[in-house]
Structure 1
Amino acid sequence: MTAKRIISAFPARLGLAAFCLALAFAGAAPLPARAQARLDAQYEATLAGIPIGRGSWTIDIADDHYTASAFGGTTGLLKAIANSSGTGAAQGHVVKGTLNPVNYTASTTTRHKTEAIHIVLSNGNVTEYGIDPKPPVDHDRIPVTDAHRKGVLDPMTGSLLYVPAPGDPLSPAACHSSAAVFDGRMRYDLSLAYKRMETVKTKKGYNGPVVVCAIYFKPIAGYIPDRPVIKYLSTERNVEIAFAPLPGTRYLIPYRIVLPTPFGTAMLEATQFITQVSGKTAKTQ
């Protein structure tokens, strides 16, 4: 298994398809001006401490709808080896405080091809999806059935962690969570487990506590069992994700992801994490 395959596969497999440790953040689309809470974040991806990618993520959550978009690409030496970039977006309704996705799009561009994915959802069920260009049929791939596309989230919405009331959303209880995700190709489950609380200091924006959760990946359908990256991610128990709060909401946003690899630690971490509530920049701690 090459470093390039690990780096490119990790985000899509772990439901942070909005991001890419090196290759594909998900989306860039116009966002509405009215928002109850907004995040403007920038991230840097590193492998063994060496920068390999950068990207941005913008989230708007209003009383009745939400949008999220991001853009990213490879940098440095990895760009010379595997120049790649990605865009995409997610939109949906806010129903009783929870996110109900309606549309998800993502595209990735490499030296060899561009691939676009779209998913349309209604009440957690996929009503339409596709990949362009259509990938070749691989008979070793576990088929995705209609049942697998029910009760799911798209990858970007699935990365936004909602913590039900009461209590402080930024607490160990936040990690008592799981999600069923469909990314247009594969159906998988993500589950979290509490690890610790930390304090972070961003170069620009948020300074304060984060909750760190272990994250476990379980493939359900749409994957090829013999693929090394699937085996690796399915058995790796040391992947962790740190969540920071989005003020004015009970949502937590990924601040940092850490993945051990045979080539060193892969990490995606915010360098800017600026939040606004009702048009005002949120105070940092």
Structure 2
Amino acid sequence: MAAKLLQSLGLAAALLAAPAAQAEDIKQQTVYTLSFSGIKIADAVFNTTVADGKYNINADIEAAGIGNLFTSIAVKVDADGLWKNGKPETREFQLIYRDGDYARDYAATFSNKRVTKSTIEPDPGPRADNWVEVKPKHLRNVIDPVTALLLPPSNNPCATTVSIFDGETRLELEMASAGSRPFSTKGFSGRAIGCAVRFKPVAGYERKDEDIEYLANSRELVVWFAYNEELNVFAPVMAHIPLKIGRLTIYASKFGLPR
């Protein structure tokens, strides 16, 4: 389950798109360091391109093994979409996930915030009795996990609920303000705003999974956002994700610089 969380939540720490009003093309890169209980396990590189009212994000995450907890996890992701009325709208999402010998490729097509097609390869086959099935009603008004944590500027960007579908799992992130703090890294120096996040699984997961229940019941999940002036968005710069086996921390070592 820790691997699944690295797949879905680690991807949430992304620098994303810009308003279509931008006349020039934009190419930026954000680099994150992922650590588990204080030990570095991965670097994540997110490249964002914005042009002609469209955005593309591609990312690579590679995690080194720590005993039996993580085994050379590798994640590649590609997301494409439109910027409509000041908000991102997903069109295509693909995620390639490798955990040792375990391999899964997820893909989803979106239209008007609805999932019109999704695939998992290889086919996972019949699910266990405790599997919560994804139904058509779960695939409305959703966004991919990479685009999910792009927050438009406002007096309280954290006052929102984000509905996510990653090709298999439907979940919601209910957010609320958690204050602000100084934050500096390569490409940014100023204040970051904190959003306390409630993790709410909806469908596409195993009921009574201990790790999911632990995260869903936690009050310690916090994501910190910094304002990117060029892109006119708040984007994640740090996150603390509580797991039953320890804490996953994501930290931006490079934030929104040209590539």
TM class by shorter chain equals 0.7 to 0.9
Q: Deviations over 1:8-38 (max 9, x none)?
A: 1324454x5356xxxxx9xxxxxxxx85544
Aligned mate of 2:146, from 136, 150, 156: 156
Q: Which amino acid aligns with 1:155?
A: P
The question of whether the paired residues in 1 share the 8 Å contact of 2:7 and 2:97 is answered with no
Structure 2 residues not aligned, in runs of 5+: 15-22
Counterpart of 1:17 (choices 11, 19, 22) is 11
Q: CA deviation at 1:262?
A: 4.4
**Using the alignment, how far apart are the partners of 1:274 and 1:211 within structure 2?**
17
TM-score by length of 2: 0.88
Aligned to 2:74: 85
1:113 to 92, 102, 118: 102
Deviation at 1:110, TM superposition (A): 2.3
Q: For the residues of structure 2 that align with 1:240 and 1:63, how far apart are their CA atoms?
A: 34
Q: In terms of mean alpha carbon deviation, does 73-82 or 177-186 score higher?
A: 73-82
Identity of aligned residues (%): 24
Of 228, 252, 256 in structure 2, the residue corresponding to residue 274 of structure 1 is 256
1:144 matched to 2:111? The reply is no
Partner of 2:219: 237
Contact 2:65 2:73 in 1 (8 A): no
- Superposed CA offset, 1:64-89 (max 9, x none): 11111110111364699611211011
Deviation at residue 113 of structure 1 after TM alignment? 2.7
User: Which one of the candidate residues 126, 134, 141 is aligned to 2:123?
Assistant: 134
Deviation for aligned residue 1:260: 2.9
**Equivalent of 1:251, from 223, 233, 246?**
233
Aligned partners of 1:242, 1:117: CA distance in 2, in Å? 28
- Structure 2 counterpart SS, 1:135: coil
Q: Does the aligned pair in 1 maintain the 2:193–2:224 contact within 8 Å?
A: yes
Given that 1:62 and 1:94 are in contact with CA atoms closer than 8 Å, whether structure 2 keeps it comes out as no
Deviation digits for residues 46-75 of structure 1 (CA, Å, limit 9, x no counterpart): 122111111111223345111111101113
Match of 2:32 in 1: 43
1:95 aligned partner: 84
Name the SS for the 1:175 alignment partner. Answer: coil
1:239-274, CA deviations, whole angstroms, 9 ceiling, x for partnerless residues? 000111222333211111102344443201011113
Q: Which amino acid in the other structure matches residue 212 of structure 2? A: I
Partner of 2:20: none
Match for 1:188 among 162, 171, 175?
Answer: 171
Contact 1:54/1:75 (CA < 8 Å) preserved in 2?
A: no
Q: Distance in 2 between matches of 1:149 and 1:81?
A: 31
Shift of 1:161: 1.8
Distance 1:55 1:189 in 2: 23
Separation of aligned partners in 1, 2:157 and 2:169: 26
Is residue 197 of structure 2 the alignment partner of residue 197 of structure 1? no
The equivalences for 1:51-70 within 5 A come to 51-62=40-51, 64-70=53-59
Aligned length: 250
Q: Does the residue aligned with 2:126 lie in a helix, a strand or coil?
A: coil
- Report the CA distance between 1:103 and its aligned residue: 0.2
Structure 1 unmatched runs, 5+: 20-24, 26-33, 164-168
Partner of 2:190: 208
1:179 to 162, 175, 180: 162
**Inter-CA distance 81–268: structure 2 relative to 1 (3 Å threshold):** closer
Distance 1:84 1:38 in 2: 27
The equivalent residue for 1:28 is none
Task: State the partner residue of 1:221.
Answer: 203
Greater shift in the superposed pair: 264-273 or 234-243: 264-273
Pairwise CA RMSD: 2.3
Higher strand share: 2
Normalising by structure 1, report the TM-score. 0.80
Q: Aligned partner of 2:75: which letter? A: G
